[in-house]
Amino acid sequence: MTSYDDFARTPGGAILMNGSLLRDEIVAGIRAEIDALGNPAVCLATVLVGSDEPSRIYVRAKHKKAAEAGLVSRNIELRETATQGEVEAAVQDLVDDVDVHGILVQLPLPGGLDPEPVIDLIPPEKDVDGLTERSMGRLVRGRPGHVGCTPRGVMALLRRYGVETSGRRAVVIGRSTLVGLPQVLLLGRKGCDTTVTLAHSRTTDLAGVCREADIIVAAAGMARLVTADFVKPGAAVVDVGVSRTESGIVGDVDFAAVQEIAGAITPMPGGTGPMTIASLLENTLDAARLLGAVPA
């Protein structure tokens, strides 16, 4: 097993939980598995509506890494003026296509379109983003299904960098269905065995609550919310938040100050973002297994 001495560290001495490095390890592992299976056509399909440039960048990155992993990928693009019916029809075509194993609808959709009925069309077996209420229900019930990509990526980072979870205390800041709620479930479920507190921007004495934690997952979307005052010495700090400021894109964690105190910390960028893509590819291979396209 890799020792802590093998991990890169920040100037303050914290272990740097490098998501870019781990993503590339995961992509290589998927590629090796696909090759060993005889290169079956495991297919990820994305639906991109409109011309939002950040969405286009995200989708291109997903397809680039899918190709590196040996997956087949499709991108369905619809114009900005696409109707609700046209978007739903495009998704339904992918649902009905037996050669498509994973479906991801890039959000947000343009104004005037309701994402909920679009997402609801995706069966849990193909819901590689883990967004639907059926996928969330499977997570709660412990049934086979797909976990949201970012929460799954956070768990992979904690494992890879030797962050102990059993018997530890964790605080998840943020209560979104995309990250916060599934993250609480993953940290608290049997086998991980963390005692989890769900906190948010309205939590009384948020800094004091966080100082009790061995693990902090910051997913509130509030720029540099987590300062050194929030962190117990030696705690692991995972930054999921993304905020656009005048000085550029920043996370929920004041990295420069917190890395002086934390025992392990994710960078921004290069932390949880790359892991979201890695987890999407893992979910796609898992989807092919659930659908019987590759051996379980």
| DSSP state string for 119-172 | HHTS-TTTBTT--SHHHHHHHHHT-S----HHHHHHHHHHHHTT---TT-EEEE
- Is residue 296 scored above 90 in pLDDT? no
Residues 6 or more apart whose Cβ sits within 8 Å of residue 83:
none
* Span 280-293, pLDDT tens digits: 999 999 999 999 99
CATH architecture label of 149-273: 3-Layer(aba) Sandwich (3.40)
Catalytic option among 65, 126, 127, 129: 129
- pLDDT of 248: 80
> In which band, very low, low, confident or very high, does the pLDDT at 2 lie, cut at 50, 70 and 90?
very low
Residue 205 among the catalytic residues: no
Distance between CA atoms of 260 and 143, rounded to whole angstroms?
A: 40
* Third-level CATH fold of 38-124: Rossmann fold (3.40.50)
Catalytic option among 106, 239, 259, 286: 106
Residues 80-106: what's their mean pLDDT? Answer: 98
Distance between CA atoms of 140 and 119, rounded to whole angstroms?
A: 19
277 sits in which H/E element:
helix 272-290
Residues 91-109: what's their mean pLDDT? Answer: 97
- pLDDT of 247: 77
Phi and psi torsions of 99, nearest 5°:
-85, -5
Instruction: Please report, as a single letter, which amino acid is at residue 96.
Output: D
Which of 64-78, 85-99, 241-255 is the least confident region?
241-255
- Is residue 3 scored above 60 in pLDDT? no
Residues 212-220: what's their mean pLDDT? Answer: 98
pTM of the model: 0.95
Catalytic option among 62, 65, 183, 259: 62
Distance between CA atoms of 105 and 52, rounded to whole angstroms?
A: 14
* Span 147-196, pLDDT tens digits: 999 999 999 999 999 999 999 999 999 999 999 999 999 999 999 999 99
Percent of the chain past pLDDT 90, that is, above it, reads 93
Identify whether the C-beta of residue 224 lies closer than 8 Å to the C-beta of residue 252. Answer: yes
Computed over every residue of the chain, the mean pLDDT equals: 95
- pLDDT of 172: 98
Is-same-fold flag (38-124; 149-273)? Answer: yes
Residue 24 among the catalytic residues: no
How many other C-beta atoms lie within 10 A of the C-beta of residue 77?
15
- Is residue 244 scored above 90 in pLDDT? no
Residues 78-82: what's their mean pLDDT? Answer: 97
- pLDDT of 1: 40
The domain segmentation of the chain, as residue ranges, is: 38-124, 149-273
Identify whether the C-beta of residue 100 lies closer than 8 Å to the C-beta of residue 74. Answer: yes
Instruction: Please report, as a single letter, which amino acid is at residue 99.
Output: D
- pLDDT of 243: 87
Residue 286 among the catalytic residues: no
Instruction: Give yes or no for a cis peptide into 108 (omega within 30° of 0).
Output: yes
